[in-house]
Amino acid sequence: LGLRRCIVALAGWLFGVVALAPPTDAAAAQAERAGPAVQLYTNAATSALVRQAGGRPDAAIAVWRASLSRSGIAQREIGRDELIGGKAGGVLVLPSVAVLDDAERQAIGRWLARGGSVLASASTGTVGPGGQPRGHAFIESTFGVRVTGSARNVGGGRFLAPFGDSPVTHGLPAGQRMWLRDAGEPIVLVTADRVAGRLTDYVFANPHGVDNGVLAFDERGAARVIYLGFPEASWDSALADMDRLAADAIAWLAREPRVFKAAWPGARESAQLVEMDTEWYFEYATRLVEMLDRHALRGTFYCLTSVAVPAAAMLKRIGVRHEIAYHGEVHIGFKGLPEAEQASRLDRMVREMRLVLGDASAVTGFRAPLESFDATTEKLLRARGVRHHAVHIDSSRARLPFFSTAEPGLDREQAIVNLPRTQLDDLNLAERNVSGARAAELLLRDLRTVMEMRGLGLLSVHSYHFGPSGGARSSPAGGAAVGRPGTDYMVEPTERYLEALARARARHWIAPAGEIAQWWRARARVEHRVTREADRVQLELQVRAPGDVRELALIVTPRARGAAVAAMPRVPEHPLPRVVALDEFRVALVFDRLGAGSYRYWLNL
């Protein structure tokens, strides 16, 4: 009977490889790190080269030593003789080991052929034993990447943005901006089948002009490999995140299965809010409504209440399908204003919304005029029933919702959920003076990045850019009116964006702000733990009141590409998860509905 309740996901079925692990073969649970020590490689030739260039010979390996020991990961160092001697196996790390001779290159090839794992960084293997440059052939052939260029002197384009929920970076939030200090060494950019991090600028754009992957992973034959394009010298400007990244990467190389909570519900991999700041030219909002409705998409309309009052009938119609939320009462920021003044302004805002809708209790979202607010604003908003807040792009380093800390100590059921704007908005585009066609390209680029990084996309547009086509397109002087209020500047770009969203909806979750915030709050009610009992792996879920968590997904990284994952409830009444192969290296356990309580499963990994 137990077996009948046991669902087996044959991820291999999708990819033509079936590898059923026997039930007792569950050695490497998350709770354990019993595997052999990570082997850090160093050689005299690289040390000499670094010394010659005025550097500290052991600088790169020292970064790994310190990071692994902070994470409690066993390590040992090996040199050329031991590598070539060829007995060792497990995880080999080559920290910017620039000089490799032919015997070393062959030994690394044998290591991989025996099913060992290898991670290398930056300049590894780019120099021959006599100091002659050898290019990137070693990196390309060993890691299955193609080097597209290197990043030097690129100013603000030095953020490592890791992908969320990936097998090798899942401990970091999607798109977390990790600044890579310029330590004088180039960052190697690559293109690869499986990338899990890119080098971007502050708004996740790619200023490098070539494919900007800096973190690639793969399973090649029996071996797992990871290449990091950035040197260890750059880690110290994002050290805590780097520790996390290194620990997750090593675990994947060591084939230790991991279980982590997916950012988004179901088997969907990213999320999207389309919202309008509905203010000047209020009536133009109907144009976006028509477009959204045509694609069966829903959005959020943040309304400036003083201009909403005369448009009450229209707003009520919008509210039938879409979310109505607050954009203040007049278009003036809140930041730094005295509390009493903020309170009276917000009271007026709520009063005006009641005038419009009759009952404003369903209005629980806010977006500050000019994105200008402070902790006082959020405290006052919460007291007025606001539950979520669309905030500016600087509010978070990552591309995920987060809980407001405006009122310290508040638990997550009470705290406001902040949704950071993560994309260029129409004002950014107008400032850049780009045409509608170029604006569409930039928006679609943002969408690709959001989806790839498995983050939250927040597209913000303004009512005054949704004017009638052929209307006030020209400035009084007769020039092109790029981004001018009252024009149809955003109609065509938004139409193209919505078309792309509609096509992507199976894996990209498109929802109004309130639903995204509600999900984030529900997700936070769940904690999971993986433990071992005898030789079996147990997954334990704790769901805090009020429960009601829909479509929570736990992602499992199997031991090998396409390997099976199964979950079997230890108590027959506990809900059975759906098992969905997300890709070759990740399987999702999706729980359709979890009430408050605790749940236990046997995992077969």
Which residue, 120 or 393, is less far from Zn ion as judged by CB? Answer: 393
From the list 7-15, 96-104, 274-282, 486-494, the region that binds Zn ion by CB under 5 A is 274-282
Distance CA 486, CA 463 (A): 9
> Of all residues in this chain, which one has the CB nearest to Zn ion in the complex?
277
- According to CB under 5 A, which residues from 287 to 306 bind Zn ion? none
Distances (CA, A) of 403 to 424, 511, 516: 22, 19, 13
Q: Rounded to the nearest whole angstrom, what is the least distance from the CB of residue 378 to Zn ion in the complex?
A: 18
Using CB under 5 A as the binding criterion, the count of chain residues that bind Zn ion stands at 2
Which residue, 230 or 284, is less far from Zn ion as judged by CB? Answer: 284
Contacts of 470 (CB under 8 A, 6+ apart): 488
User: Applying CB under 5 A, does 275 fall inside the site for Zn ion?
Assistant: no
From the list 258-266, 277-285, 356-364, 385-393, the region that binds Zn ion by CB under 5 A is 277-285
From the list 119-127, 275-283, 353-361, 416-424, the region that binds Zn ion by CB under 5 A is 275-283
Q: Rounded to the nearest whole angstrom, what is the least distance from the CB of residue 485 to Zn ion in the complex?
A: 11
Tally the residues of the chain.
Answer: 605
| Residue 236, both tokens | 């110290």
State the amino acid at position 44 in one-letter form.
A
Which residue, 206 or 428, is less far from Zn ion as judged by CB? Answer: 428
Which residue, 15 or 280, is less far from Zn ion as judged by CB? Answer: 280
- Which of 219, 248, 277, 488 lies at the binding interface for Zn ion (CB under 5 A)? 277
From the list 16-24, 114-122, 271-279, 374-382, the region that binds Zn ion by CB under 5 A is 271-279
| Residue 479, both tokens | 């020039």
| Residue 593, both tokens | 């509905």
From the list 78-86, 122-130, 221-229, 270-278, the region that binds Zn ion by CB under 5 A is 270-278
Q: Rounded to the nearest whole angstrom, what is the least distance from the CB of residue 328 to Zn ion in the complex?
A: 8
- According to CB under 5 A, which residues from 551 to 580 bind Zn ion? none
Contacts of 477 (CB under 8 A, 6+ apart): none
Which residue, 199 or 390, is less far from Zn ion as judged by CB? Answer: 390
DSSP per-residue codes, 268-327: --EEEEEEEEEBTBGGGHHHHHHHHHHTT---EEEE-HHHHGGGHHHHHHHHHHSEEEE-
Residue 466, Cβ neighbours under 10 Å: how many?
28
Distance CA 487, CA 153 (A): 39
Q: Are 528 and 541 in contact (CB under 8 A)?
A: yes
Which residue, 244 or 421, is less far from Zn ion as judged by CB? Answer: 421
Q: What is the dihedral of CA 473, 479, 485, 489, to 10 degrees?
A: 60
Residues forming the site for Zn ion (CB under 5 A)? 277, 279
